[in-house]
Amino acid sequence: MKAEYVDHMGNDLTVVNAARVSFDKHATEFRDKDERLVYYLARNGHFTPFTHAMVTLRETVPIFVARQRFKHTVGFSYNEVSRRYVSDDPEFFMPSEWRLAAAEVKQGSSTNTLDEDSIVPYDVARHVEKSVKLYRQMLSQGVCAEQARMVLPQSMYTSYYVTGSLSAWSRAYTLRAEKTAQREIQDLADSWARIIEPLFPVSWAALTHDEE
């Protein structure tokens, strides 16, 4: 799972000034009292000041992760690579280990993995290879890219720009970094934090429930 920094707007002071504009106040320097205000806003659910700070990333993930990712719509905007227009050979995600299903839950996985001598990785690799071969054949025979893409597996990587408010990013992170979330999207969420935290250190800590 990969997330790359593209752009951002604002900083911790943006949040403070958005909150204090109701008193017609504006600060040019972030001070200790401003940090206390940021924590107060986050702790009491005053989310609108955090919507004025924005972050844009480019994420590259397999389709089955992207479809989970795109469930986060409020506060986000997406533009994705389209295989209606792109017909080069795709790349595919292959996990380093295959987790077993968890017996006590309807979704998710356990900490147990397939035996090393399992033929599953081999079969999956063969399936992907055959799918790509069929995809190439369809294109070579004149089938349009927007239909030929239907044979490609969900393990295919896709890439997209995603722009969201700081409030939206923290909400998505809280849900997807949680220990019961799918492991692959947990990894993606961790990469969000590594990028966003240095940009908004006080606000990110407050929104992700670190103690002041």
Q: Which tens digit of pLDDT belongs to each residue from 120-139?
A: 899 999 999 999 999 999 99
Buried b (16+ CB within 10 A) or exposed e, 146-166: eebbeebbebbbbebebbbbb
The answer to whether the CB of 78 falls within 8 A of the CB of 58 is: no
- Least confident span in 63-72, 104-113, 186-195: 104-113
CA distances from 52 to 8, 148, 154, 196, 199 (A): 11, 41, 35, 15, 14
Give me the pLDDT at residue 56, please: 98
Residue 74 has pLDDT above 80, yes or no: yes
| Residues designated as active site | 176
Give me the pLDDT at residue 104, please: 76
Residue 53 has pLDDT above 70, yes or no: yes
Residue 212 has pLDDT above 90, yes or no: no
User: What digits encode the pLDDT tens for the residues 2-19?
Assistant: 999 999 999 999 999 999
Give me the pLDDT at residue 210, please: 56
